[in-house]
Chains A and B, each alone.
Chain A
Amino acid sequence: MTEASTATADGPEARAALAPEVMTWDSRARRVVTLYVPLACFVLILLFPFYWMAVTAFKPNAELYDYKTYNPFWIASPTLDHIRHLLFNTSYPRWLWTTMLVAIASTALSLFASVLAAYAIQRLRFRGSQYVGLAIYLAYLVPPSILFIPLATMVFRLGLFDTPFALILTYPTFLVPFCTWLLIGYFKSIPYELEECALIDGATRLQILRQITLPLAVPGLISAGIFSFTLSWNEFIYALAFIQSSESKTVPVAILTELVSGDVYQWGALMAGSLLGSLPVAIFYSFFVDYYVSSLTGAVKE
């Protein structure tokens, strides 16, 4: 709807109304130059690193370091050597498993905490609930870079250092504020009359939450869930500071600290590792694009 009308605003009719002689310059050529060419450049630049990652991951070493005889943009004889090396000579599967575990556990924990908090703030409306909401929102603005040193000392004293629990318990610090804020927005969009009906019918508050509000907020829950999963999958600084042993590292940290060794970088293996590490999120993403977009923009708009 919006697109159509803005298109007409810039389209041939408008031009003709303003100045007929402009029509001599074909409006279609104009559209190609001002719209499609810049857009193609954007897409090309945004996608190039991924293409380059994929090409490098499947190239044999002989081609990788020889741009004179082989065209670097293409693979003459694709190979799975780098991926095989990654899967069988390193603990890569183990890292993937740890990352998955941490991401799922911290997402579940954050969703649980956020649903209850958002429900209390938006629906129970106790005195000062607005300020609690604001405080939770401000908590999202505290970046992990400021917190990781004191958190490292805390994690050490709690005896969680070098265990997945260190990550599962600290990731909610940035997931809970985000999820709560997103879910407050969703709960706001559910008509309050539905809950009033249930109250009159004698349902308790927790029954209302479980049987009426939550089923209606499923899209919001999915958005918050996949977003939290992505954020925990991508998290780096806590995982770098709190995990020491090679076995229990997460994928982003392990690739950077375990695969980069010595002076000669194994670029093929590094790129294969990056590609495989991005894949779960990318697959997730391809299924739920609209939820990502709505949660991204929803969180900002609220």
Chain B
Amino acid sequence: MSVTASAAWKNVRQEPGWLTRFFDWKPFLVFICMLPAVGLLLVFLTYPLGLGIWLAFTDTMIGRGGEWVGLENFLYLWEDPVFWTAVFYSVFYTAVATVGKFALGLWLALLLNEHLPFKSLLRAIVLLPWITPTVLSAIAFWWIYDPQFSIVSYILVDVLHLRDTYIDFLGSTWPARWSLIAANVWRGIPFVAICLLAGLQTISPSLYEAALLDGATPWQRFTQITVPLLMPILAIVMTFSIIFTFTDFQLVYAITRGGPVNSTHLMATLAFQRGIPGGQLAEGAAIAVSMIPFLIFATLFTYFGMARRKWQQGEGND
């Protein structure tokens, strides 16, 4: 035992080989460590982002390289009513779905923050819609929205007798739009609820006790303690939620594919339809690029609108 220990000790005192020393040289090590991640991101994220912006100013089609045409694609889109419908619906979809998700998600988080039996089981169940592949749950919603065999219509008509006719969920413009928003809210609630629950659990209970001693009502405790302390995490979750709702693709593509008569196209689905099956890569890229200003605006708005409070509380900003 002692023999091996002393042998090992001697080994350590020897000078390491040049290769080992080279790998311990900090600049080289940093370079090697950053290479895979930065390389992947530069090649498959930064370059395509630039390429996409360039494509938007060309007339590229599938199977044929493009030439610079300036703003032609955007001028064409400016005149295109389908594009403006998609812009309108993207904004509407994002706004309504975000409000719905955060109202219901916050409510659910507050409920889950109470003292409950089977709490971890409940939390596991709640997160389930978020874990399953979106397309597969979207197909379930498609079946739930079936014009003839919709279970929602069955409950309303044959069980509760609230209506006389089955609802045509996806056949006309506004019902289809609301149906998609409902499916999006269903899918988004778990994410919001679990993130906000984590935020709620970091709020110190002594604050509530102090407020209680001062005679604060439950509503005052909610607005004066819970909401301000939840604001930093709310800002981040909302930024994420808005970005991924605005650029949503799967739900709409799976349930309506933009129909009826292009009324439920989001900008992402319209870009796909024009770009890949339609072959007009440049036009698809132009539609995709038009999403960027909306995303930047939404990010700055939520971030600076809500996260400002974080610094006011004197927490370190990281």
Contact = CB atoms under 8 A, between A and B. Distances in A.
A90 interface: no
Contacts of A278: 132-133, 136-137
Given A67-B149, A173-B45, A201-B12, A145 B194 contact: no
Interface string A154-173: 10000000000000011011
A202 B16 CA distance: 10
Given A148-B272, A236-B250, A5 B209 contact: yes
A53 B125 contact: no
Given A72-B151, A236-B250, A151 B44 contact: yes
Contact of B128 (A237, A251, A255, A285): A285
Interface residues of B, number: 111
B80 interface: no
Interface in B106-163: 107-108, 111-116, 119-120, 122-129, 131-137, 139-141, 143-144, 146, 148-149, 151, 154, 158
B250 A233 contact: no
Contacts of A277: 133, 136
A42 interface: yes
A147 B48 contact: yes
B132 A293 contact: no
A177 B127 contact: no
Interface string B186-218: 100111001100111101010011001001001
Given A10-B218, A113-B36, A234 B133 contact: yes
Given A149-B288, A205-B24, A256-B139, A14 B124 contact: no
7 contacts: A117-B37, A145-B248, A205-B24, A241-B272, A253-B135, A285-B128, A286-B124
B268 interface: yes
Given A113-B36, A252-B136, A49 B51 contact: no
A154 B51 CA distance: 9
A27 interface: no
Interface of A: 1-7, 9-10, 14, 18, 35, 38-39, 42-43, 45-47, 49-50, 52-53, 56, 64-65, 67, 72, 109, 112-114, 116-117, 119-120, 124, 126, 132, 136, 139, 141-154, 169-170, 172-173, 176-177, 180, 201-202, 204-206, 230, 233-234, 236-237, 240-241, 251-253, 255-256, 267, 270-271, 273-275, 277-278, 281-282, 285-286, 289-290, 292-293, 296-297, 300-302
A272 to B, nearest CB: 11
A237 B149 CA distance: 29
A18 B127 CA distance: 37
A292 B131 contact: yes
Given A56-B143, A150-B55, A241 B111 contact: no
B205 A1 contact: yes
Contacts of B108: 39, 42
A274 B137 contact: yes
Interface string B31-67: 0111111101100110111011001000010000000
A234 B134 contact: yes
Interface stretch (B70-78, B95-103, B167-175, B237-245): B237-245
Most buried by B among A38, A43, A112, A145: A145
